[in-house]
Amino acid sequence: MSLINVVDVEATCWEGQSPPGQVSEIIEIGLTVVDLDQRSRLAKHRILVRPQRSRVSAFCTELTGLTQEEVDEGVTFAEACKILARDHNTKTVPWASWGDYDRNQFTRQCRHTGTEYPFSGNHTNAKLRFTEALDLRKRPGMAQALELAGLKLEGRHHRGDDDSWNIAALVLHLRANNLW
């Protein structure tokens, strides 16, 4: 079995600049486990994360559907990282995300909070892999990539668990065409 974790995060965001004293923080982590050999998505997971240095804006709620009240029920970022390592073997299992945003956001937030980075160094930028495999001039967003691959968007766009599920479908599309 050749497993890979596909990860997508949602973070606090604002229309325009962030309010004084607030920084973008992860509020939701979506993770889909993929078996590359069997070419299947095995499980979809969601971890809500309680922000410490920001609040969910109306813009963020409109984009993600997540509210401040909902994420207030989440775990701390440090606990979320422990859950990833303990329950999803993220320290050893290779992982992928759509672009480098997710990897960079984890790196920044771990550095700021003093939290141990929860992932292996074996990361694949699925957006870059897709772009190169299809010989595209511009890197498409996930929704556009699904259209290009002839796949339907499942669930709500800009929700971590649904986006990880859809990115996993793109990974499997590439795998089926011997491009992963």
Domain ranges of the chain: 3-176
Domain at 3-176, CATH from 3.40.50.300, 3.30.420.10, 3.20.20.70, 2.10.10.90: 3.30.420.10
DSSP secondary structure, 78-123, as one string:
HHHHHHHHHHH-TTTS-EEESSSHHHHHHHHHHHHHTPPP-S-S-E
Residue 160 has what pLDDT? 98
Q: Distances from the Cα of 98 to the Cαs of 22, 53, 137, in angstroms?
A: 25, 25, 17
- Residues whose CB is less than 8 angstroms from the CB of residue 127 and which lie 6 or more positions away in sequence, other chains included: 98, 99, 139, 140, 142, 145
SS3 (DSSP) at 131:
helix
What is the average pLDDT value for the chain, to the nearest integer? 97
| Predicted pLDDT of residue 104 | 98
pLDDT of residue 1: 76
* Model confidence pLDDT, tens digit, residues 58-70: 999 999 999 999 9
pTM as predicted: 0.97
Reduce the DSSP state of residue 54 to 3 states and report it. coil
Placement of tokens 């207030």 in the chain: 72
